[in-house]
Structure 1
Amino acid sequence: MANHAAQIKIPAVYYRGGTSKGIFFKRSDLPEAAQEPGTARDKILLRVIGSPDPYGKQIDGLGNASSSTSKAVIIDKSSREGHDVDYLFGQVAIDKPFVDWSGNCGNLTAAVGAFAVSQGLIDPAKIPQNGICTVHIWQKNIGKTIVAHIPITNGEVQETGDFELDGVTFPAAEVQIEFLDPADGEGDMFPTGNLVDELDVPGIGRLKATLINSGIPTIFVNAADIGYTGTELQDDVNNDAAALEKLETLRAYGALKMGLIKDLSEAATRQHTPKIAWVAAPKDYVSSSGKTVKAADIDVLVRAMSMGKLHHAMMGTASVAIATAAAIPGTLVNLAAGGGERNQVVFGHPSGTLRVGAAAEMQNGKWTATKASMSRSARIIMEGFVRVPGDCF
C-alpha cells in the first residue's frame, strides 16, 4: 500500500458574519509555511474550503458552493499604532485553484472583532464586563481602518440577540461597524474623475455607469439599460448563461475604465473586484423568503454580482459603495434613490432590505467619503480544528 501523508490539524473557527460564512484562523496557528503570503498559504486555504472543485459543490471542504461561503480570514495582532488586529481576507474560487486577495469582505468584518476578543487578541483592559468593546481593525487587503462595536456580556462576546438581518434566518446580537475613509486604495474615490461615465460594451452598447472606489471598487449601472428591473432574484439571473457572460463583459470594461486592469483578459484573474451592480427606483417585489418588500419602505433597488453570480443579499463592501454613492448628488445610485443629499439609504436586495449610512464631502474639488456605517451580526457556528492532508501544500 502506498504511503500517504497523514492529515494535519489547524486550529480554526467557522463563523457566520453578516450574510456570509468563512473559516477564521489566527496567523500564528497556521503551518509555518502558510504564515506568510504565497503558494503554501493559498493551497492550504483551497483545500480547507474544498477547491478547486469541477463539480462546483465543495463537498470535500467547508465551502458551501457559493461565493458567500467560499471565504477564509487570517487575523493577527496588529503592530500598527491605534489598531488592535490585522484582518486579511481571501476569496476562494470554487472551480479554479485561485485565492483572490484583492479586496475586503464587509460581511465577515462583523465577525473579526468577535474573533479577536474570544481568541485573546485584545488587551483585557479594553474588554468591559458588560457593555461594548470597541475593536480597531486594520484591513490589510485595502489598507483601511474599520471600527467594530462588539457587545459583551459577563466578559464574553454576546452572540445571541433579537437583531434581524435580511438574508440571515435567525436573529442575533447587533454589531455596529464603521468603515473609516472607505475609498478603496490610494486613488480617487471616482477614479475617472466623473460621477457618471459612459461605457461602450460589446453586446450591450453604450450605457451610463458610476464607477466608485468605496468599500470595494464597484460599477453601478441602471437596471433598465441592461434589461433588468432591479427586482431580480438569484434564479432570474444565475440560470441565464448568456446574461452572466454579458455581465462579466460589462465588469471587464468597467475594470479597464477604472484602471484596475490594463488589458481585458486580466479580469478573469481578478474575480473578486470590481463588483458590478444595477440600480432602479423603488417598486414592490417579493423577496427570496417570500416576504413582500414595499416600495414605500425603501429608497432604491440594488442587485449586485459576486464572483460571477447574483448575490443572495448584498455584500457588506458593496453596501458601503451603495451608501457612499447614494450620499453624493448626481451618481446613478443617488438619482435612482430620488436625488438630493442624504446621509443614509435603505435599499432593497434579493433577501430583503438594509439600512446603511455614509458621510461624504467635497475636498479640494473632489468627493471623499469620511465614514460609512452599517449594522451586522456574527455567530460562531463551530470551533476546533480543521484537517487537511499534510502534503496538500
Structure 2
Amino acid sequence: MAHLPQMKIPATYMRGGTSKGVFFSLTDLPAAAQVAGAARDAILLRVIGSPDPYGKHTDGMGGATSSTSKTVILSKSTQADHDVDYLFGQVSIDKPFVDWSGNCGNLTAAVGSFAISNGLIDPSRVPENGTAIVRIWQANIHKTIIAHVPITNGEVQETGDFELDGVTFPAAEVQVEFLDPADGDGAMFPTGNVVDELNVPGVGTFKATMINAGIPTIFINAADIQYQGTELQDDINNDDKALAMFETIRAYGAVKMGLIKHIDEAVARQHTPKVAFVAPAANYISSSGKAVNTDDIDLVVRALSMGKLHHAMMGTAAVAIGTAAAIPGTLVNLAAGGGELSAVRFGHPSGTLRVGAQAALVQGQWQVKKAIMSRSARVLMEGKVSIPQ
C-alpha cells in the first residue's frame, strides 16, 4: 500500500517568555485548518506529537510539558484599532485535544515580533529605530494586549541584556500590557467575593480567591494544604497523590467559578482554570541554584499548569497575581503584606518576577485597567514543519 508524502507547512518555532511554541500565519495553513474545527486540531496535534502515551513528544515539535506543547495562529486583525489577531492553542500531551479556552501570556511576548517579521503589521507602524507598538487582539478571550517591540534598522531586535528568571540566556526586553484583563464585563470575581470558602470533598474546606484576570485562577494558601510555598517541581510533580489533590481542587473550583457545570467536565478543560498557592516571602534556593531572599520578594507563589507544577510562572497567571495583589483582602494581597499595592515581586520556582496592576473600586466592583510585565522573545527556527498527511 502506497503512503502519501508528508505535508509541509510554513512555521516558526519561537520562545516567548518562559514558554516556546510553533507559530503559524493563518493563511499558511491548509484551507481546512484556516477555520476552527477537527481538521485544525488534528494538524496541530500532529505538529506537536500528541497524544503521546510515552509523554516525550519524540515524534513532534512539543517538549512534553505545558510550557512547550503550545501553538499560535496569527493573522492581520479583523478588529478596529488592532494590528494582529492572536489565537492560542494549548495542546494536550497525552489526550487527543487542543484547549482553546485561554491565553498564553508568555507567548504573547513573541506575537508582536512574529507579526512584524512576517508582514502582518502595517509598515508605517514600525519605526526604523525605536519601539513598535503592536496592538494585539487576543481572540481566545477577546481582550486587547499591547506589546512594545524593540526595533533596530527596521527589524525586530531580539538580542539584549534583559534577564528573565526561567530563561537561560539574556535577550531584548519586550514590555507587555494586558488591558482590562478581567473576564467578561469587568466583574473579575465570579462569586462576588474576594475570598470564598471552597469545599473540596476528600481534601477539605479552605479559603480561596477565585479570579478571572489574565486567566481564570484559583489561589489558595500554601499552609492550608500543608505546603510552604517554596516547593520546586520535583517536590510536587513526583507525587501522584499531590497532583490528584490539585486536580480535584481545580475541578471543584471550576464549578464554583461557573466555568463548568460538573466536575467531570474538567478533564476536557485542562488549560483553565489554573491553581496556585501563595505564602508570605521566604528564603529558598531556586531550580537554577540561585538564592532567593525575603528582601528580594513580596511573596512566594507556585502554580500548576496542565496538571503539573510550572517550572517558573505562566504569563497569564502572573497577570492574575498582579491583579489580585492590587485588590485589598485577596489571599495574594494578604500574603504580600496587605494594603494598597500597585506592583509586587513574587518568588517562583525559577526565581523572581515583577508585575504591576492598576485597580479601582467602581460602583462596588473591582476593576483593573491594565497589568504590565516585561518578558523577552526570540526566533529559534524558521522554515516548514512536516507532518504525515
The alignment's TM-score, normalised by the length of structure 1, stands at 0.98
Q: How far, CA to CA, are the matches of 2:248 and 2:201 in structure 1?
A: 8
**Runs of 4+ with >6 A deviation:** none
State the partner residue of 1:178.
Answer: 177
Gaps of 5+ in 1: none
State the partner residue of 2:381.
Answer: 382
State the partner residue of 1:22.
Answer: 21
Q: What is the CA distance between 1:65 and its match in structure 2?
A: 1.0
State the partner residue of 1:336.
Answer: 335
State the partner residue of 2:97.
Answer: 98
State the partner residue of 1:127.
Answer: 126
- Find the residue that maps to 1:190 and give its secondary structure: coil
Q: What is the CA distance between 1:296 and its match in structure 2?
A: 1.1
Q: How far, CA to CA, are the matches of 2:51 and 2:321 in structure 1?
A: 32
2:343 maps to a residue whose letter is: Q
1:292 maps to a residue whose letter is: A
Q: What is the CA distance between 1:187 and its match in structure 2?
A: 6.3
Q: What is the CA distance between 1:188 and its match in structure 2?
A: 1.8
Residue identity over aligned pairs, in percent, reads 73
State the partner residue of 2:85.
Answer: 86
Q: What is the CA distance between 1:109 and its match in structure 2?
A: 0.1
Is 1:40 the counterpart of 2:22? The answer is no
1:263 maps to a residue whose letter is: H
- Find the residue that maps to 2:109 and give its secondary structure: helix
- Find the residue that maps to 1:75 and give its secondary structure: strand
State the partner residue of 2:369.
Answer: 370
- Find the residue that maps to 2:145 and give its secondary structure: strand
Deviations 1:42-96 (A, max 9, x none): 0000000000000000000000110100000000000210000000000000000
Q: How far, CA to CA, are the matches of 2:186 and 2:196 in structure 1?
A: 17
Deviations 1:164-200 (A, max 9, x none): 0000000000000000000123462000000000011
- Find the residue that maps to 1:107 and give its secondary structure: helix
- Find the residue that maps to 1:166 and give its secondary structure: coil
2:370 maps to a residue whose letter is: K
1:239 maps to a residue whose letter is: N
State the partner residue of 1:304.
Answer: 303
State the partner residue of 2:158.
Answer: 159
Q: How far, CA to CA, are the matches of 2:277 and 2:134 in structure 1?
A: 33
2:230 maps to a residue whose letter is: T
Q: Mean alpha-carbon deviation: is it higher for 36-45 or for 185-194?
A: 185-194
State the partner residue of 1:249.
Answer: 248
Gaps of 5+ in 2: none
Q: How far, CA to CA, are the matches of 2:126 and 2:60 in structure 1?
A: 34
Q: How far, CA to CA, are the matches of 1:365 and 1:296 in structure 2?
A: 35
State the partner residue of 1:50.
Answer: 49
1:274 maps to a residue whose letter is: P
2:217 maps to a residue whose letter is: T
State the partner residue of 2:109.
Answer: 110
2:130 maps to a residue whose letter is: G
State the partner residue of 1:351.
Answer: 350
Deviations 1:210-242 (A, max 9, x none): 000000000000000011100000000000000
Contact 2:158 2:171 in 1 (8 A): yes
State the partner residue of 2:260.
Answer: 261
Is 1:229 the counterpart of 2:258? The answer is no
- Find the residue that maps to 1:217 and give its secondary structure: strand
Aligned 1:285-304 pairs, distance under 5 A: 285-304=284-303
Q: What is the CA distance between 1:318 and its match in structure 2?
A: 0.1
Aligned 1:2-21 pairs, distance under 5 A: 2-21=1-20
Q: How far, CA to CA, are the matches of 1:227 and 1:75 in structure 2?
A: 42
Q: How far, CA to CA, are the matches of 1:238 and 1:368 in structure 2?
A: 35
- Find the residue that maps to 1:179 and give its secondary structure: strand
1:172 maps to a residue whose letter is: A
Q: How far, CA to CA, are the matches of 2:59 and 2:176 in structure 1?
A: 33
Deviations 1:283-342 (A, max 9, x none): 100000001000111001000000000000000000000000000000000000000001
Q: How far, CA to CA, are the matches of 2:232 and 2:86 in structure 1?
A: 31
State the partner residue of 1:271.
Answer: 270
Q: Mean alpha-carbon deviation: is it higher for 195-204 or for 50-59?
A: 195-204
Q: How far, CA to CA, are the matches of 1:217 and 1:176 in structure 2?
A: 22
Q: What is the CA distance between 1:3 and its match in structure 2?
A: 1.0
Number of matched residues?
A: 389
The alignment's TM-score, normalised by the length of structure 2, stands at 0.99
Contact 2:186 2:367 in 1 (8 A): no
Q: How far, CA to CA, are the matches of 2:336 and 2:186 in structure 1?
A: 26
